[in-house]
Structure 1
Amino acid sequence: MSKRAAENDDGPLKAGHRPDPMHMDMDVDTAGAGSDKEMGEFEDEFEDEFESEDEIFEAGVDGRPDAEREADMDLDTPAPAGAGGGTASGPSAFIVGRSKLEPGQTLAPDPSTYHMLHNLSTPWPCLSFDIIPDALGDNRKVYPATMYTVSGTQAEGARSHENALMVMKFAGLSRMDRGGGGDSDSDDDDDDADEDADPILESKSIPLASTTNRIRAHQTPAAGLTTGPATTLVATMTESSHVYIHDITPHLASFDTPGVIVSDKQNRPLSTIRAHKAEGYALDWSPLSPAGRLATGDNDGLIYITSRTDGGGWVTDTRPLTGHTGSVEEIQWSPSEDKVFSSASSDGTIRIWDVRSKSRKAMITMQISNADVNVMSWSRQRSNLLASGDDDGVWGVWDLRSWKPNAADKPTPVASFDYHKEQITSVEWHPTDDSIVAVAAGDNTVTLWDLAVELDDEESKDTAGVQDVPPQLLFVHYHEQAKEVHWHPQIPGTLVATGQEFSIFKTISV
């Protein structure tokens, strides 16, 4: 049984199982941890309730009532700060995700470290989601913000019939109310910015008979042609081992076009891929294949390629790509070559494939870890760079130019970080900055990293008292059961993370 299919009452979650809920009362008093700096409580000023046509969600400016609110912490290079921490040079520095809370100690988010922060709950937790590019423009800095996403649910075993593919619109995402204190970042001080806007969540649900393990969206011209109106396709890999392809274009249109009603027929999949005999978690669309080319990998170590035909149908090559001796955990297509992709596996390897190869074998195989390699991200800015994360909590960056076929030696990473002490569950490069990376881990955190940071000797002295905190670590965001994180490609610096709930945030660090 795959580590991600561990049996429990709540159903499978990425990297094994759903952790026990963390019980943390959100008081402001953190003095018990030896802090010399009291941290203010993040107030829920709006107490909003969001209603949609299909579901009712609970969310607020930070997404939860005070009694349930969790902690979000900033770690500014070089000195970490926040709840329960001493000074950077003191032995009692509190590090979110690493330090343990003592009885009576609590954490609260620091609103001064965020431009925007919203948490929201869905009827069931979502293991995977994707952000849908929209027509609202690139490089958006106006608040309140709007975005579109798609996700799949993880209903409890006895209620698996309630699972759904959820198409969502988040609107009215306001920036932080700083109490008239102003904002030092003029980029976000737009005349249209409105801290008092009420967030709005709308959703459309497409019934699914199984838990969603991985979901990815792809925008393509209609019917596989190079011209014509764009359509948004979604591929969903489920616990049942089936992969479903849906066209969610009408669902997205229904949010913004009065009178558009989604029919039962439009909820049906365009295609169902039944090639896999075991469930899987690896799935990705080729960004350079406009018609649509999909790679899917399963727990048996097999990878299948599905392509769209000239007539708009779908065909799966029944000859699998073989070589992995463990489950295929992640697939990423090359951002620069439309027939090349990489795969990561629980066998500790990353493999590079060319779908044109007659051998059906990988071009390059690299043993990069002694643990399961859970996740990968191929840099969109520098296609020779690949980031990976493993089950031991180590994540690193690799230069593919140094990888050679049949190489006997283990490659040396460009950078490697052993900061997280739980499994890495997601890693993603910033869409426009080739030095910034977001990482999610099983220690209930999403961390932001700047690989360009290097400390001089004087700065190194200032951080000498903080053990095992790399200077490249920019920010730590507390997120319960963090599973997947994505940058929004059109709203600079904005991230969305999923786990026990969704978190939408933008920090002052990026």
Structure 2
Amino acid sequence: MEEDHTLAYDPTAYNCLVAFSAEWPCLSFDLLKDDSGDRRETFPHTMYLAAGTQAASPGENGVIVLKLNGISKGRHGEQDKPKADGMDEDDSDDASSSSSDEEEQDAQALYSRTTTHFGCVNRIRSMPQQPSILATSGDSAIVQVWDMGRHLQELDPLTPTSVKGGAQEHGSLRVSPRHAHRHSQEGYALDWSRMVQGQLASGDTAAQILIHVPKEGGRWDVTAPYVGHTKSVEDIQWSPNEPTVFATCSSDRSICVWDTREKSKCMISIQNAHGGDVNVITWRPLVSHMIASGGDEGLLKVWDLRQFDKGKHIANFAHHRSAITAVEWSPFEAAMLCTGSEDGTVGIWDLSVERDPEEEAQMGQMQQSTPKDLPPQLMFIHAGQTDIKEVHWHPQIPGMVVSTAREGFNAFKPSNI
């Protein structure tokens, strides 16, 4: 957009949209699976999150679990309704929305419980098999494992009636980490295995990759480093169906696929996968031979592991105007993924969509303002946040996306997804 242009907010573009925040910025978070069932479609929704803070001083940081209760559809997604005789547009809006909006605001509340974490949290991830177990990687260079079960239990009895008007209720409960291991430098790459409960992988800015192996008695052993990258390991992802396989990406511009049984080298790799740092990768859960990556140059690329040795991507999208900082495949739709970027936007993509010249010509007549270079696979653009760092699909609410940035969180569900 040009400098004098602004974006207009259209509530019909969303099925829901909620903004919320913690005391300090939380630039890494994870969505926690709960016992309320999968594929939840009916409003209102409740969701649980785990987040790590970036406070002004090391001693003020914490690991937080949050419960966002009463997420309502509100007026989002509603189309213009015929106005009653004798009632102008403003009167109709006031009559139809004032009471329902007040009731929905009263029902919506945010609750949290915190434990102290010395230093900023660079990355936080929840164990898939036991969501109350969290791993953090901080600027202190220590990877830690936390049991936040008591914190989550304290959130469950709370109901929307205990806090009115969208207010917040907070509390702290100090616990000690169950496991801690110091890297040589701080890191950002962190991921739990989906195949082996308790198996954790971590990477740091010194190109070191470690596997934390669960043992009896609730402890972890740490392997010798895996050798291959020459610069910072930016992200790490376990295979969705191979218990010994994981992938990494690095600021050395490479993507590597490893086997835990071989530490001296990776199995396959792509050098110069992006024109700059490879910031993030995501392993496609429903089609396990595909990985998507996002780079510093703003490109989204998709790779087929069956052709990895050829070093060529199977899809390449140039939409974001700045570095891609988040990418994640949908847990429900095999061809759909989301991206987040430093340009302040979240993109929702459907890679099964193909370009249709006739449809584009019709749309061009209807919407002259639509950019000509907009990829047809880009289904939705969410804007309004600054310095977006992470974006995740909710694992149990189809189409629900949560993003975090400096000013806080946005939870939204596009009306066309």
TM-score category by the smaller chain? 0.7 to 0.9
Match of 1:306 among 208, 212, 215: 212
1:339 aligns with 2:239: no
1:284 aligns with 2:186: no
Whole-angstrom CA distance in 2 between matches of 1:443 and 1:257: 40
Match of 1:251 among 151, 155, 161: 151
Deviations 1:158-203 (A, max 9, x none): x2211111110000111132597589xxxxxxxxxx8642311000
Whole-angstrom CA distance in 2 between matches of 1:437 and 1:180: 25
Match of 1:164 among 52, 57, 62: 62
User: Aligned residue for 1:497?
Assistant: 403
Alpha-carbon shift at residue 437 of structure 1 (Å): 0.9
The within-5 A match list for 1:72-87 is: none
* C-alpha spacing 1:472/1:160, structure 2 compared with 1 (3 Å): same
Deviations 1:37-92 (A, max 9, x none): xxxxxxxxxxxxxxxxxxxxxxxxxxxxxxxxxxxxxxxxxxxxxxxxxxxxxxxx
Q: Which amino acid aligns with 2:318?
A: D
Task: Confirm or deny: 8 A CA contact 1:114 1:176 kept in the other structure.
Answer: no
User: Aligned residue for 1:85?
Assistant: none
Match of 2:104 among 197, 209, 220: 197
* C-alpha spacing 1:487/1:180, structure 2 compared with 1 (3 Å): closer
Task: Confirm or deny: 8 A CA contact 2:12 2:77 kept in the other structure.
Answer: no
Whole-angstrom CA distance in 1 between matches of 2:388 and 2:221: 35
* C-alpha spacing 1:180/1:281, structure 2 compared with 1 (3 Å): closer
User: Aligned residue for 1:144?
Assistant: 44
* C-alpha spacing 1:400/1:178, structure 2 compared with 1 (3 Å): closer
Q: Which has the higher strand share?
A: 2
SS in 2 for 1:124: coil
Q: State the superposition RMSD in angstroms.
A: 2.1
Whole-angstrom CA distance in 2 between matches of 1:305 and 1:255: 32
Alpha-carbon shift at residue 504 of structure 1 (Å): 0.4
User: Aligned residue for 2:357?
Assistant: 457
SS in 1 for 2:154: helix
Whole-angstrom CA distance in 2 between matches of 1:488 and 1:393: 24
SS in 1 for 2:358: helix
SS in 2 for 1:116: strand
Q: Which amino acid aligns with 2:398?
A: P
Q: Which amino acid aligns with 1:109?
A: Y
Whole-angstrom CA distance in 1 between matches of 2:400 and 2:267: 36
Whole-angstrom CA distance in 2 between matches of 1:403 and 1:112: 42
Match of 2:180 among 267, 272, 275: 272
Alpha-carbon shift at residue 313 of structure 1 (Å): 1.2
User: Aligned residue for 2:2?
Assistant: 100
SS in 2 for 1:321: coil
Whole-angstrom CA distance in 2 between matches of 1:126 and 1:215: 10
Whole-angstrom CA distance in 1 between matches of 2:157 and 2:113: 14
Match of 1:424 among 311, 314, 324: 324
Q: Which amino acid aligns with 2:227?
A: T
Task: Confirm or deny: 8 A CA contact 2:48 2:67 kept in the other structure.
Answer: yes
Alpha-carbon shift at residue 467 of structure 1 (Å): 3.0
Q: Which amino acid aligns with 1:447?
A: G
Task: Confirm or deny: 8 A CA contact 1:231 1:247 kept in the other structure.
Answer: no
Which sections of structure 2, spanning at least 5 residues, go unmatched?
82-99, 159-170
Normalising by structure 2, we get a TM-score of 0.86
1:361 aligns with 2:265: yes
Deviations 1:273-300 (A, max 9, x none): 11x110111000001112x001100001
SS in 2 for 1:197: helix
* C-alpha spacing 1:320/1:180, structure 2 compared with 1 (3 Å): closer
Deviations 1:304-335 (A, max 9, x none): 01011022211111x10011011000000000
User: Aligned residue for 1:506?
Assistant: 413
User: Aligned residue for 2:334?
Assistant: 434
Whole-angstrom CA distance in 1 between matches of 2:3 and 2:353: 30
Alpha-carbon shift at residue 231 of structure 1 (Å): 6.2
Whole-angstrom CA distance in 1 between matches of 2:122 and 2:353: 35
Normalising by structure 1, we get a TM-score of 0.71
Whole-angstrom CA distance in 2 between matches of 1:473 and 1:331: 25
Q: Which moved more, 1:460-469 or 1:130-139?
A: 460-469
Q: Which amino acid aligns with 2:188?
A: Y
User: Aligned residue for 1:214?
Assistant: 123
User: Aligned residue for 1:30?
Assistant: none
Whole-angstrom CA distance in 2 between matches of 1:352 and 1:219: 21
Whole-angstrom CA distance in 2 between matches of 1:347 and 1:297: 14
User: Aligned residue for 1:325?
Assistant: 230
Alpha-carbon shift at residue 142 of structure 1 (Å): 1.8
User: Aligned residue for 2:29?
Assistant: 129
Deviations 1:8-54 (A, max 9, x none): xxxxxxxxxxxxxxxxxxxxxxxxxxxxxxxxxxxxxxxxxxxxxxx
Deviations 1:475-497 (A, max 9, x none): 11012221100000111100100
Task: Confirm or deny: 8 A CA contact 2:16 2:77 kept in the other structure.
Answer: no
Alpha-carbon shift at residue 439 of structure 1 (Å): 0.4
User: Aligned residue for 2:94?
Assistant: none
Task: Confirm or deny: 8 A CA contact 1:495 1:504 kept in the other structure.
Answer: yes
User: Aligned residue for 1:470?
Assistant: 375
Aligned identity (percent) is 41
Whole-angstrom CA distance in 2 between matches of 1:414 and 1:269: 42
Matched residue pairs, number? 377
Alpha-carbon shift at residue 457 of structure 1 (Å): 3.0
Q: Which amino acid aligns with 1:482?
A: I
Task: Confirm or deny: 8 A CA contact 1:111 1:176 kept in the other structure.
Answer: no
Whole-angstrom CA distance in 1 between matches of 2:318 and 2:128: 36
Whole-angstrom CA distance in 2 between matches of 1:176 and 1:255: 24
Whole-angstrom CA distance in 1 between matches of 2:172 and 2:363: 59
Whole-angstrom CA distance in 2 between matches of 1:477 and 1:263: 33
Whole-angstrom CA distance in 2 between matches of 1:508 and 1:120: 20
1:316 aligns with 2:216: no
Task: Confirm or deny: 8 A CA contact 1:235 1:246 kept in the other structure.
Answer: yes
Whole-angstrom CA distance in 2 between matches of 1:463 and 1:179: 21
SS in 2 for 1:402: helix
Task: Confirm or deny: 8 A CA contact 1:219 1:232 kept in the other structure.
Answer: no
Q: Which moved more, 1:325-334 or 1:160-169?
A: 160-169
